[in-house]
Structure 1
């Protein structure tokens, strides 16, 4: 269940009594700026798709008038054609009776904030009306192997074999040459046994 949310609070807003619309061009605030009837606080609140523009007494919070802004209808909030700071609101009481009044702000920046708040509500309504995708509605992906398909798995990286230099049995770095076919030889005797070591000169 949605809750009421405050979109904007404007500390000072002026209200005016306006004459009936005379032309199809639109409202002009220059015709009714002398008919000031109220000054107070404006509060814009939203609850789901509902948006209410409330004109409240600054001291007592008593509601002077309410405009039920509907994004699907025209005429609830109408800009005038001769100023960016003035608008016409369609206010409605609890019995459903309505009337049109003019409102105005002292600064253009305040009027800009007013427009932005209404635009924010409009965008929220559009987003709420968009259908939400369910996970069950999304196509399931097939991860099974097709016929003839193989999976190649690489675990780590193969290490290159290092070439090691063989050492001689004597622990030296030189390799003994095989016995020569001819040449001098040295014979040594050890422990009564004859051993021959051939060293090439």
Structure 2
């Protein structure tokens, strides 16, 4: 039976560490490693391997290889369930991989030089899980399994929407309109100021006032 391989991720340099046994059920901590003294460094290739031409059976493997010669240092199978690779609890750049050699296996630490490389590595593993089994639930990198609930906001049969408008401005406008409407509905004529007197009328008023004053002044001296 033929097999087909495709590279889904590659990193030119990763660091591999000898790590102490797991001490807590919470997970591994990179702070407990001697990160300044890796036991090996080289290239990481993540392969997606199909067991037949129809690719109905696929698996994923991590290959740690020498950068110059391509010699295989160790391989670690990665399962759809996520078994085989575990991120540490105190860093986004370090992982624990389960390397296999025949019937034997061991847990080694693996670190990336850049956080972006570690992120791309995580994305490649998640993409493999979706490809290998579309029905599998994906667990985010923070370790918390969450499912997004899609809410239906559409109106059901018989439901309506009621919109309440503000009353402040509308009330002031209504009061002004009511006062204008009440004045127009009463039928009473609006008062008008008389027109200003003409120049001729003003002259006549001045003459009449002056004549009356002369009569009053002379009346005081009548014996």
TM-score calculated relative to the size of structure 2: 0.54
Q: Which residue of 1 aligns with 2:30?
A: 29
State how 1:147-166 maps to structure 2 within 5 Å.
none
How far off its partner does 1:46 sit? 0.6
Q: Which residue of 2 aligns with 1:97?
A: 104
Q: Could you list the per-position Cα deviations for residues 98-153 of structure 1 after superposition, in whole angstroms to 9, with x for gaps in the alignment?
A: 00000001111000010011011101111499xxxxxxxxxxxxxxxxxxxxxxxx
User: Which structure 2 residue ranges, 5 or more long, are not aligned?
Assistant: 51-57, 137-223
Q: Which residue of 2 aligns with 1:51?
A: 60
Answer whether contact 1:18 1:35 (CA < 8 A) is retained.
no
In the alignment, the residues of structure 1 paired with residue 91 and residue 127 of structure 2 have an alpha-carbon distance, to the nearest angstrom, of: 22
In the alignment, the residues of structure 1 paired with residue 18 and residue 129 of structure 2 have an alpha-carbon distance, to the nearest angstrom, of: 28
The structure richer in strand per residue is 1
| Gap change, CA 1:83 and 1:73, over 3 Å in 2 | closer
Q: Which residue of 1 aligns with 2:43?
A: 41
Q: Which residue of 1 aligns with 2:16?
A: 15
Give aligned pairs, total: 127
Find runs of 4+ consecutive structure 1 residues off by over 3 angstroms.
Answer: none
State how 1:169-180 maps to structure 2 within 5 Å.
none
Q: Which residue of 2 aligns with 1:65?
A: 74
Does residue 123 of the first structure (1) align with residue 130 of the second (2)?
A: yes
| Gap change, CA 1:9 and 1:73, over 3 Å in 2 | closer
Paired residue for 1:111, among 106, 113, 118? 118
3-state SS of 2:123 partner: helix
User: Which structure 1 residue ranges, 5 or more long, are not aligned?
Assistant: 130-201
Answer whether contact 1:17 1:37 (CA < 8 A) is retained.
yes
How far off its partner does 1:96 sit? 2.2
The structure richer in helix per residue is 2
